[in-house]
A and B are shown apart, each in its own frame.
Chain A
Amino acid sequence: MNQVTTTGQTVDKAIESALKELNTTRDYVEVKIIDEGKKGVFGIFGSRPAIVKVMLKIDPVEEAKQFLKDVCRQMDVDVTIHAERDGKRVFFSLSGENIGNIIGKRGKTLNALQTLTQIVLNHHSSQFLIAILDAENYRKRREESLIQLANHLARKVIREGKQISLEPMPSYERKIIHSALANEDRVTTYSVGTEPNRHLVIAPK
């Protein structure tokens, strides 16, 4: 049941009984007042009950979570998903066996799922939301290995005095490398090319 129409002495009372019937709270519904009602004289003569229509709001986070779950199940991967919203960013952390199939080579599949989840998320949301997917702490591990790679390549650039181009990466991965080398004053970093082939270059100063 997604919506009910209820009556009550006042609008508030009508809403209250609707919430009870839907077994939810005020935050998860949309209320449409059909009739505000009338108190009448002494509350007896000419009184008219208030009528409201209460609809369950579609929670974009729940909807996106369900989408992810369905897709993973179709990929024969059994996952548990934990969703958390922080302002306009929504974090989904996935865990389970065979999670490698969901991540893919260098996070390719995970990034694709992230794109799709974001669309589903915004399909039902009035505010623009950003989906961030993580699987078994993959993002954290990737960040560490990117920083390691950045430092390693920076040393090589300094040693050989020649610039090095990296492979194409999504913007947030490039950002990790840019900021990792921001304080290294013997090299400079910049990105060239257009998405999705935009890649980073580390050059000597």
Chain B
Amino acid sequence: MKQLIETIVKPLVEHPEDVQIDVIEERNHITYKLSVHKNDVGKVIGKQGRVAKAIRTVVYAHAQATEQKKVYLKISE
């Protein structure tokens, strides 16, 4: 799952080396905290959150097929 997020996000940003994903596992859900370079935040969110929505759609689709728990994706600087 972490790898999938990396594969999606890295080609979208100017600073792929600053892409970092933290996994927080809780009882009922797993939260993936995605942080990117300050200048890349806009790139992964996009106009009206279009890009963020697309990333979430793909990630959640895969989560539904493989994970037992509910998955969330948070985007931060």
Contact = CB atoms under 8 A, between A and B. Distances in A.
Contacts, number: 59
B4 A119 contact: no
Interface string B44-71: 0010101101110110011001100000
B61 A196 contact: no
Contacts of A76: 62, 65-66
A108 B57 contact: yes
B51 A113 contact: no
Contact of A195 (B8, B12, B46, B48): B48
Nearest to B43: A119
B4 A75 contact: yes
Interface residues of B, number: 19
A112 B53 contact: yes
28 contacts: A71-B4, A71-B8, A71-B58, A74-B4, A74-B62, A75-B58, A75-B61, A75-B62, A75-B65, A76-B62, A76-B66, A104-B57, A108-B57, A108-B61, A109-B57, A111-B54, A111-B57, A112-B55, A112-B57, A112-B58, A113-B58, A115-B51, A116-B8, A116-B55, A119-B12, A123-B11, A123-B12, A196-B53
Interface of A: 63, 67, 70-71, 74-76, 101, 104, 108-109, 111-113, 115-116, 119-120, 123, 195-196
